[in-house]
Amino acid sequence: MFDFLLPLSCLHCHRPSRLSLCEKCLAPFRDVPQCVSYIDGVPLWVTAYYAGSIRRAIVAYKEEGIASLRKPLSFAIANGLAHFSQEHEDLMVVPIPSRIKAIRSRGEDVIHQLALAACQASGIARPRVKPLLRMRPQTADQGGLGAAARRRNMKGALELAVPRGELPGGSVVLVDDVVTTGETVRAAIALFPPEKVVGVVAVALVKSPVKARSTLLGRPDIAASAVTRRRLGPPPSPTM
């Protein structure tokens, strides 16, 4: 009843909208995720670059507590999860954990909640979301760090939440919101037995400088610029 006095607008473009994002700004979330690179031999699937309405939504969801954005963000990774669930009947969805300080300030682990919503959207049973990873308390925020600093920061930062010998059977797909240099994902993959992690699904890939991009992809001839809306092109071959 107060719309006339306080008209609602899109968080990104500020057009009139009754939702957090208008239809135009929601469009990138509906793009089909595709494999854009490999991290230590594991395929990375993303939907878009970390820019525009995608970036605005992730920041608003994580830092401003706008929970209504969980739904479009979950759609951005749901198709990627569905792809892996069709190939692996025993699939487990393992969220990349947030820092303990971030969980306390936000009141929840937003990536875990995003993984639950994405599973619901893709028809995967919620119990298949397994919090098998945890972040050590002293880990610093990765924001603003370069590739080398990120690598140092993630050394020993992640650990298994259960003893290695008690890991449940099944294949693992890791879920995160944004991949920059891939150091967090690389640290997570290293904790599992070889070939147990079959994929990584994220909302967005940061458009990094060439040097950092090569660090992520493992091959300088595979550029992150291959990521475009709706037509990402064929996935690259894995790096051996």
Mean pLDDT per 10-residue section of the chain, whose length is 240 residues? 59 93 93 91 93 94 90 92 92 89 77 93 91 78 62 74 90 94 91 94 76 39 34 37
Reduced to 3 states (helix: H, G, I; strand: E, B; else coil), residue 200 is strand
What per-residue confidence (pLDDT) applies to 144? 60
Residue 67 counted as domain residue: yes
What per-residue confidence (pLDDT) applies to 99? 75
Can you list the alpha helix ranges (DSSP code H) found in the chain? 23-26, 52-63, 70-87, 100-106, 110-122, 147-154, 183-191, 210-217
Residue 164 counted as domain residue: yes
pTM of the complete model:
0.79
Q: Angle at CA 183, nearest 5°, toward 169 and 129?
A: 30
The span from the CA of 95 to the CA of 63, in Å, is 18
Residue 2 counted as domain residue: no
CATH number for 190: 3.40.50
Segment (H or E) for 36: strand 34-39
The span from the CA of 128 to the CA of 126, in Å, is 5
Give the number of domains in the chain.
Answer: 1
Distance from CA of residue 187 to its chain's centroid?
Answer: 15
Residue 152 counted as domain residue: yes
What per-residue confidence (pLDDT) applies to 140? 56
Amino acid type, 61:
Y
| Full DSSP string of 93-125 | EEEPPPPHHHHHHHSS-HHHHHHHHHHHHHT--
Residue 233 counted as domain residue: no
Beta bridge partners, 201, equal: 45, 175
The span from the CA of 179 to the CA of 116, in Å, is 19
What is the CB-side half-sphere exposure of residue 212 using CA atoms within 13 A?
17
Residue 8 counted as domain residue: no
Residue 26 counted as domain residue: no
Expressed as residue numbers, the domain containing 185 is 32-226
Residue 212 counted as domain residue: yes
* Whether 115 contacts 203, CB under 8 Å: no
